[in-house]
């Protein structure tokens, strides 16, 4: 009798699960578990995040307006909040506000992914946003401006463009973050550069994308950063792992994880292209140009890499 009761107790959960499975149209094994759904609590962008993020755009049409120096030039070459600076160019009026931007170049010229510099050249020129200044005097050949909000030290040669107020980003409530979500068919692109030419970033980091307003992106949109397992194939350092064994000597069938689907051990081969991609972070769009966008990482499960894919997240 005890054996019958024990057998019945073991079979009951299996029967319940089988009954639930028949009432669900989703094939068994495809329903994500809670393990794949950590709750993301995103970081809300601050004023500094909005106005100091930088951007990539087509080169500025005019470079006639730029910082010429300051009250202590040439002894002082860096200017901060509340300091007066001199602006070269014409058309300034008292009370006008301008954004100081810096045209950037990477002296290292090291590609973080194959084709990065070609992708960046197609997207445009990277610029850093340095400060917001206000014109206080136009009686001289050079206009005099005061630094009202500084992201970094203003340098002679920095360009000035008309200030444009940026819309605030709506607060994002906590939501589920599916690490293995399949492609959703929405707008997708790639991270082609990061602020300060960083290669790996965490929450709060700023990145530049090769998609923009022409693809329907707008300020406040959220995107998932995704990484394909085949990415490691093209990394000179990480790809060295393919040359090491992942097996135990006692295994009868030793598996090869190989990018070219080759077998060295005589056992089965695992192709990295068949592995699922994984989501690594959530981004919010801070600004757009017709062909590019600036994004901020508001939630990350692991470091975001320049070269990672991005896809519009419409949860």
105, part of any domain:
yes
Confidence of residue 246 (pLDDT cuts 50, 70, 90): low
Query: Given 134, 162, 190, which residue is the final one in a domain?
Result: 162
- pTM for the whole structure: 0.81
pLDDT of residue 26: 41
36, part of any domain:
no
The structural domain count of the chain equals: 2
Q: Is residue 57 domain-shared with residue 152, that is, in the same domain?
A: yes
Q: Is residue 158 domain-shared with residue 237, that is, in the same domain?
A: no
Here the tokens at position 131 are 């400060």
9, part of any domain:
no
pLDDT of residue 22: 40
pLDDT of residue 65: 97
pLDDT of residue 254: 67
134, part of any domain:
yes
281, part of any domain:
no
Q: Is the pLDDT of residue 21 over 50?
A: no
Q: Is residue 238 domain-shared with residue 156, that is, in the same domain?
A: no
Confidence of residue 28 (pLDDT cuts 50, 70, 90): very low
Which is more confidently placed, 261 or 293? 293
Query: What domain range includes position 92?
Result: 49-162
pLDDT in tens, 271-310: 677 778 889 999 999 999 999 999 999 999 999 999 999 9
pLDDT in tens, 190-240: 999 999 999 999 999 999 999 999 999 999 999 999 998 777 777 777 767
268, part of any domain:
yes
Q: Is residue 56 domain-shared with residue 137, that is, in the same domain?
A: yes
Q: Is the pLDDT of residue 158 over 90?
A: yes
Q: Is the pLDDT of residue 24 over 50?
A: no
Q: Is the pLDDT of residue 19 over 50?
A: no
Q: Is the pLDDT of residue 9 over 50?
A: no
Query: Given 104, 137, 162, which residue is the final one in a domain?
Result: 162
Q: Is residue 156 domain-shared with residue 253, that is, in the same domain?
A: no
223, part of any domain:
no
pLDDT in tens, 87-143: 999 999 999 999 999 999 999 888 999 899 999 999 999 999 999 999 999 988 999
Which is more confidently placed, 39 or 52? 52
Query: Given 104, 132, 162, which residue is the final one in a domain?
Result: 162
pLDDT of residue 267: 55
CA distance between the termini of the chain:
53
114, part of any domain:
yes
Q: Is residue 56 domain-shared with residue 145, that is, in the same domain?
A: yes
């Amino acid at each position: 009798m005890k054996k019958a009761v024990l057998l019945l107790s073991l079979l009951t959960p299996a029967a319940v699960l089988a009954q639930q499975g028949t009432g669900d149209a989703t094939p068994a094994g495809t329903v994500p578990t809670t393990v794949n759904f950590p709750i993301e609590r995103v970081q809300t962008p601050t004023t500094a995040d909005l106005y100091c993020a930088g951007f990539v755009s087509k080169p500025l049409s005019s470079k006639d307006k730029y910082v010429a120096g300051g009250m202590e030039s040439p002894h002082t070459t860096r200017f901060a909040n509340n300091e007066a600076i001199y602006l070269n160019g014409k058309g300034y009026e008292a009370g006008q506000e301008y954004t100081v931007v810096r045209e950037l170049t990477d002296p290292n010229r090291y590609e973080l992914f194959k084709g990065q510099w070609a992708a960046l050249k197609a997207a445009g020129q990277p610029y850093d946003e340095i400060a917001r200044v206000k014109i206080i005097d136009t009686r001289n050949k050079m206009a005099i401006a005061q630094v009202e909000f500084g992201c970094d030290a203003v340098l002679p040669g920095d360009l000035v463009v008309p200030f444009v107020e940026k819309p605030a980003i709506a607060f994002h409530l906590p939501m589920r973050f599916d690490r293995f979500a399949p492609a959703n068919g929405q707008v997708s692109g790639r991270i082609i550069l990061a602020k300060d030419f960083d290669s790996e970033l965490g929450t709060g980091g700023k990145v530049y994308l090769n998609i923009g307003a022409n693809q329907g992106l707008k300020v406040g949109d959220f995107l998932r950063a995704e990484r394909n397992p085949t990415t490691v194939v093209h990394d000179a350092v990480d790809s060295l792992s393919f040359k090491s064994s992942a097996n135990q000597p006692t295994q009868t069938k030793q598996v090869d994880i190989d990018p070219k689907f080759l077998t060295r051990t005589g056992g089965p081969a695992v192709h990295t292209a068949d592995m699922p991609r994984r989501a690594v972070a959530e981004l919010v769009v801070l600004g757009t140009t017709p062909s590019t966008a600036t994004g901020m990482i508001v939630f990350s499960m692991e470091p975001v890499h320049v070269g990672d894919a991005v896809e519009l997240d419409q949860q």
